[in-house]
Amino acid sequence: VFEHVVRAPEDPILGVTVAYNKDSSPLKLNLGVGAYRTEEGKPLVLNVVRRAEQMLLNDSSRVKEYLPIVGLADFNKLSAKLILGADSPAIQENRVTTVQCLSGTGSLRVGGEFLARHYHQRTIYIPLPTWGNHPKVFTIAGLSVKTYRYYDPVTRGLNFQGLLEDLGSAPSGAIVLLHACAHNPTGVDPTPQQWEQIRQLIRSKALLPFFDSAYQGFASGNLDADAHSVRLFVADGGECFVAQSYAKNMGLYGERVGALSIVCKSADVASRVESQLKLVIRPMYSNPPIHGASIVATILKDRNMFQEWTIELKAMADRIINMRQQLFDALRSRGTPGDWSHIIKQIGMFTFTGLNSEQVAFITKEYHIYMTSDGRISMAGLSSRTVPHLADAIHAAVTR
């Protein structure tokens, strides 16, 4: 009965790793995945995470009962505080509902489905380009996806004029997806002044901001600085959605820990919204997993562990920033044609190199370096040892 089923294509991002795994060259390098690697090219479990896990293990009172539909209460409170700020009036006024979800993706999905059921506008505007899963997540949640201009390939920076025009002509009430910081895949973020202009436009048109915060602290090394955009929107008293992920900033990728916060106009609305979120979640996966959220809550509620986390987080961010400099210097020392300053200007895990799909294919074939076909490379996958190899490959690709 399944004879008619056609083979689906590999996921464009995860498929890069599938191809990488099949390559037997000792030179092979995977810059496709968005996961942190150490200078030795190894995945990293933070010391503070190991310590939290040990504490959880030693606590014999812990059981494996189901969490509530909305997840671990402590985790939810602490997550809202982390993104909105400890002194956020919205939290003090109980206007925020936070539910634990399956990492960033699950938070976007639950938020999207809630909007499809309860919001008068079904259109969500996502940046062009954006993380490849965004249109799929929101479409399946029941929203209609449109794009707004974001990246300018000529300047390799923000197309701010295009962004303002497109959001300016969006229908009133439309939902707008914003990357809180470290835009994926471009690494291009608005400046604080530009954020303020975006905020004014969004509020003046009664658009609904939906922040995707997948890199808080991972971009600059500073948790508060990376939450600036979200806090700017919450400070004006308006509504706002935020999807948080602990995949990158705590290295909890496979634990699938995240949260959706909805900032409402009043405590009463927030509690009704939460009651409806439960109806979205219950038939989807019933309730979220306990382990990862317990790790996060353990770290966030203990002053010393929190401090230890920020130090380890900054070390990851700094290593990535250092890789940017090294790659930039390596291209410059090779005299590679072109202006490569965007490598050091871009923010976060990725560099949008500007290499076209043909150049990417050449680099993969001749140098065994894997990246997505849009020329996005994960800086977290680079090390001092591999930078020269990548620089050689880029040099060869652009001088061919």
How far is it, in rounded angstroms, from Cα 243 to Cα 230?
11
As measured in angstroms, the least distance from the Cβ of 103 to ligand PMP is 3
Given the complex with ligand PMP, which of 158 and 393 has the nearer CB atom?
158
3-state secondary structure of 7: coil
Read off the tokens for 35.
């996961």
Whether residue 349 contacts residue 313, with contact meaning beta carbons closer than 8 Å, is answered with no
As measured in angstroms, the least distance from the Cβ of 379 to ligand PMP is 13
Binding residues for ligand PMP, per CB under 6 A?
34, 103-105, 131, 179, 184, 212, 214, 245, 247, 258
Given the complex with ligand PMP, which of 258 and 391 has the nearer CB atom?
258
Given the complex with ligand PMP, which of 103 and 261 has the nearer CB atom?
103
Given the complex with ligand PMP, which of 242 and 397 has the nearer CB atom?
242
Read off the tokens for 250.
């705590």
Read off the tokens for 328.
């930039």
Read off the tokens for 353.
């190199």
How far is it, in rounded angstroms, from Cα 183 to Cα 162?
17
Nearest to 294 by CA among 246, 227, 248, 261: 246
As measured in angstroms, the least distance from the Cβ of 293 to ligand PMP is 13
How far is it, in rounded angstroms, from Cα 237 to Cα 243?
18
As measured in angstroms, the least distance from the Cβ of 336 to ligand PMP is 28
Which residue in the block uniquely carries the two structure tokens 């938020």? Answer: 111
Alpha-carbon distance values, 159 to 148, 152, 294, 309, 338 (Å):
10, 5, 41, 35, 20
3-state secondary structure of 335: coil
Given the complex with ligand PMP, which of 215 and 233 has the nearer CB atom?
215
Given the complex with ligand PMP, which of 243 and 280 has the nearer CB atom?
243
**DSSP assigned state of 12:** T
Which residue in the block uniquely carries the two structure tokens 């606590």? Answer: 59
The region that residue 223 occupies, defined by phi over 0 for left and psi between -120 and 50 for alpha, beta otherwise, is alpha
Catalytic residues: 131, 212, 248
As measured in angstroms, the least distance from the Cβ of 68 to ligand PMP is 21
Given the complex with ligand PMP, which of 105 and 359 has the nearer CB atom?
105
As measured in angstroms, the least distance from the Cβ of 224 to ligand PMP is 20
How far is it, in rounded angstroms, from Cα 102 to Cα 79?
14
As measured in angstroms, the least distance from the Cβ of 214 to ligand PMP is 4
41-64 burial, b for 16+ CB within 10 Å, e for fewer?
eeebebebbebbeebeeeeeeeee
Read off the tokens for 65.
């009962």
Alpha-carbon distance values, 9 to 12, 18, 26, 130, 141 (Å):
8, 12, 27, 19, 21
How far is it, in rounded angstroms, from Cα 77 to Cα 68?
14
- Single-letter code of the amino acid located at 364: T
